[in-house]
Structure 1
Amino acid sequence: MATASESGLGKLVGSWGDAIDGLQILVVTYAVSVVGAILILIAGWTMSRLMARWVRSLLTRTHRVDPTVVGFFSIFVRYAVLVVVIIMVLGQFGVQTASIITALGAAGLAIGLALQGTLQNIAAGIMLLVLRPFRVGEYIDADGISGTVQEIGLFATELKTFDGLFLMAPNSQLWNVPVTNYSRLPERRHDLVIGIGYEDDIDTAQSVLMDLARAEPRILADPEPWAFVSELGDSAVAVTLRYWTKSPDWWETSRDMTKAAKIAFDEHGISIPFPQITYSGSLQVEKETAEQATA
C-alpha cells in the first residue's frame, strides 16, 4: 500500500504535468496567432504602400486631377488599408472585430456631425480640384466672390481681388453657386456701344469704328468685327462695334478702343450727346422774386 507522502507526490507531479501541457498548448496557439499577426502586418504594410503608389500613378496620368487631390487620395487609401489590417490583426487574437467596427462607425458619425461644415468644405474642395471649373491664375466671379485664383486648397480657395486685396473663400460657397470664368476660354467678345446725335451720319460713324477695328492688331480678323445700329434712344442713336480679342488682351483693348473712338468721332465731327440741364431761367425767376421781396 502506498504511503500518504507518495500519494501527495503523485498528485503534485500530475498537476505539474497538466500545467506544462496547458502551457504548451497556450504557447503553440498564441505563437501561431503572433506569427499570423506579424505576417498580416508585413503584408498589409506592403499592400498599403503599393496601393497608395498605384493610386498616385493612376491619378497622375489624368491631367484633370490636381496634384493636391492626388496626394490626398493616395494617403487616404494607404491609411484605409492599414485600418483594415489592424482589425484583421486583432481578430487573430480573438478580439470581436464586429464591436470595433461598430465603435469606429459611431465615432466617425459623431466626428462627421461635429465637423459637418469642415467636411462639406473638404468635399467641395475635392470636387473643385477634380472637375476644375477654375485653375490657379484665372479670374472668376462666383455670386459676388471675384478675383484671380491664387491657390485651391481642400478647405478654402485663396483669391486676389481686382484692387489687390487678399480674399479667402470657403470651397462650399464656390461649389454651390454658378461660376463665371473670365480666363478659361482663349477668346472674348466685346461690344463697344457709343451714342451719336440724330443729326449725325450713321454710315460715317460705322465706317470710323470699322477702320479703328481693322487698325488695332489685338482685334481678331476672325470672327470679323461688325458695326451696327443697336438702339434708337431718346436723345442718341446707339452705334455698336462688336469685335473679338484674345482673353488676356480684352481689358486693355476695350479701354484703348473707347478712347480711340472718342478721338476719331471728334475728328470727323460726330457728336456724342449727353444730358444737359440749364438753370439760367430758374435762377432769373428766383432773382426777380428776391428783388420783389426786398422792395
Structure 2
Amino acid sequence: MSELLEQLDINQYFPAALDWASNILLAIVILLIGLWFAGKVNKMIVAGSKNSKHLDDTLFRFLGSVARYIIIAFVIIAVLNRFGVQTASIVALLGAAGLAVGLALQGAMSNLAAGVMLLVFRPYKVNDFIEAAGRFGKVTEIDLFTTILQTFDNQQIIVPNSQIWGDQIINHSHFDVRGVDMHFGIAYDESIDAARAVIDGVLAAHPHVLKTPAPFVEVETLNNSSVDFLVRPFCQGEHYFDLLYSVPEQIKKALDEQGIEIPYPHRKVILVNETNKEI
C-alpha cells in the first residue's frame, strides 16, 4: 500500500482537481447570485403594481414569476456551461419541449392569453355585476385562466377567460348611476296625462329614484291593445335591482287605485246572422 502511494503522483491530478474545484465554486457563486437576482426582479415587478391603479395585481405577479423563471433558466444553463455541458442542445430540446407542451395545452394557452388581456384592459373588476359568455353574476375572482361569478341564487360559475374575451361583455357596474328601463301599457280609452301623473308620483315617492337626472316617462309604442310607456328612472348602481323589482308593483297598484285600466291582449269576434235567401 505504501509503495502504491509512493508511485502515485499527486501533482499529476492537482491541476484537474483545482480546475474542478474552481468550476464548482464559480457555479455555486453564479447560482446564488442568479437566484438572488431572480427574486429581486420578481419583487420589483410585483411592487410595480402599487404604482399602477389601472392594472391588476394578478398580472404583475404573473409577469414577476415569468421573469423569475426565465432568469433561473439562464442561470442553470450558465452553471451547466461551467462544467463543459453543451447547452446548445439543451436549449434546442427545451424549445422543442415548449412547442410540444404549447400544442398540447392550446386551450389553456388561449385562456391564459385572454386572461392577460382581461387583466391589462380590465373591462370589469371584482364585485362588478357582468353579463358575459351567456352568464350573469357578480365577479368574485379573476385569475389568468378563469373568471368566477356568483349568481343571485348563490351558485358559483367558473367561466374560461377565452369565452369571455371572445364575446360581448356587459358591465352593469361600470357607471355609478344607472337607468332602469320598464314598460307599462294602458288602454286606449284612458288618459295619457293621467297615467303619466300616476307614474311620476310613484317615482317621486321612491327613496332610491334620483331627482337628477330626472326620470324619463314617455309614450313609446301604440300597440294593438295598449298605449305603451317607456319608464326610465335613474338610481345609484347598488339600487338597480331594488328599482327593477319594486317599481312595477307600485305602479300597478297606483294605476288600479286611480281606475286606469292596464289592458291585456284580446280579440273581438263579430257574429253575423245570415238568413236563408229564397232562390
TM-score range relative to shorter protein:
0.7 to 0.9
Equivalent residue for 2:68, pick from 74, 78, 91: 78
| 1:245 to partner: Cα distance | 0.9
Deviations 1:129-183 (CA, angstroms, capped at 9, x unpaired): 3332222222211131222222223332222223332322212111211111112
- Tell me how far apart the structure 1 counterparts of residues 253 and 187 of structure 2 sit (CA, whole Å): 16
1:4 counterpart residue number: none
Q: What secondary structure, in the 3-state scheme, does the structure 2 residue paired with 1:168 have? A: strand
* Structure 1 runs of 4+ with >6 Å offset: none
Equivalent residue for 1:101, pick from 91, 94, 98: 91
TM-score (norm 1): 0.81
- Tell me how far apart the structure 2 counterparts of residues 174 and 241 of structure 1 sit (CA, whole Å): 31
2:229 counterpart residue number: 239
Q: What secondary structure, in the 3-state scheme, does the structure 1 residue paired with 2:264 have? A: coil
Q: What secondary structure, in the 3-state scheme, does the structure 1 residue paired with 2:38 have? A: helix
Matched, 1:216 2:206: yes
Matched, 1:156 2:146: yes
| 1:22 to partner: Cα distance | 4.7
1:167 counterpart residue number: 157
1:115 counterpart residue number: 105
Matched, 1:35 2:25: yes
Q: Gaps (5+ residues) in structure 1?
A: 1-12, 282-295
Deviations 1:184-203 (CA, angstroms, capped at 9, x unpaired): 22111123321112221111
What is the identity, as a one-letter code, of the residue corresponding to 2:266? Q
Q: Gaps (5+ residues) in structure 2?
A: 1-5, 272-279
- Tell me how far apart the structure 1 counterparts of residues 149 and 244 of structure 2 sit (CA, whole Å): 24
Report sequence identity in percent: 37
2:277 counterpart residue number: none
| 1:252 to partner: Cα distance | 1.6
Larger Rg: 1
Matched, 1:254 2:244: yes
Deviations 1:244-290 (CA, angstroms, capped at 9, x unpaired): 111111112122221121122122222111123689x8xxxxxxxxx
What is the identity, as a one-letter code, of the residue corresponding to 2:232? R
What is the identity, as a one-letter code, of the residue corresponding to 2:203? A
2:124 counterpart residue number: 134
Q: What secondary structure, in the 3-state scheme, does the structure 2 residue paired with 1:167 have? A: strand
1:180 counterpart residue number: 170
Going by fraction, where is helix more abundant, 1 or 2?
1
What is the identity, as a one-letter code, of the residue corresponding to 2:177? E
- Range with greater deviation from structure 2 (269-278 or 166-175): 269-278
Q: Does the aligned pair in 2 maintain the 1:210–1:226 contact within 8 Å?
A: no
Q: What secondary structure, in the 3-state scheme, does the structure 2 residue paired with 1:46 have? A: helix
Deviations 1:201-257 (CA, angstroms, capped at 9, x unpaired): 111111222222222221111111132111111121112222211111111212222
Q: What secondary structure, in the 3-state scheme, does the structure 2 residue paired with 1:158 have? A: strand
- Tell me how far apart the structure 2 counterparts of residues 272 and 223 of structure 1 sit (CA, whole Å): 28
Distance 1:278 1:206, change over 3 A: closer
- Tell me how far apart the structure 1 counterparts of residues 133 and 32 of structure 2 sit (CA, whole Å): 51
- Tell me how far apart the structure 2 counterparts of residues 110 and 231 of structure 1 sit (CA, whole Å): 60
- Range with greater deviation from structure 2 (143-152 or 197-206): 143-152
- Tell me how far apart the structure 1 counterparts of residues 159 and 232 of structure 2 sit (CA, whole Å): 35
Q: What secondary structure, in the 3-state scheme, does the structure 2 residue paired with 1:231 have? A: strand
What is the identity, as a one-letter code, of the residue corresponding to 1:219? V
| 1:21 to partner: Cα distance | 5.4
What is the identity, as a one-letter code, of the residue corresponding to 2:76? I
Q: Does the aligned pair in 2 maintain the 1:210–1:241 contact within 8 Å?
A: no
Q: Does the aligned pair in 1 maintain the 2:136–2:151 contact within 8 Å?
A: yes
Distance 1:124 1:63, change over 3 A: same
- Range with greater deviation from structure 2 (41-50 or 133-142): 133-142
- Range with greater deviation from structure 2 (256-265 or 69-78): 69-78
Q: Does the aligned pair in 1 maintain the 2:186–2:261 contact within 8 Å?
A: yes
What is the identity, as a one-letter code, of the residue corresponding to 1:133? P
| 1:109 to partner: Cα distance | 0.8
Distance 1:159 1:226, change over 3 A: closer
- Tell me how far apart the structure 1 counterparts of residues 232 and 136 of structure 2 sit (CA, whole Å): 26
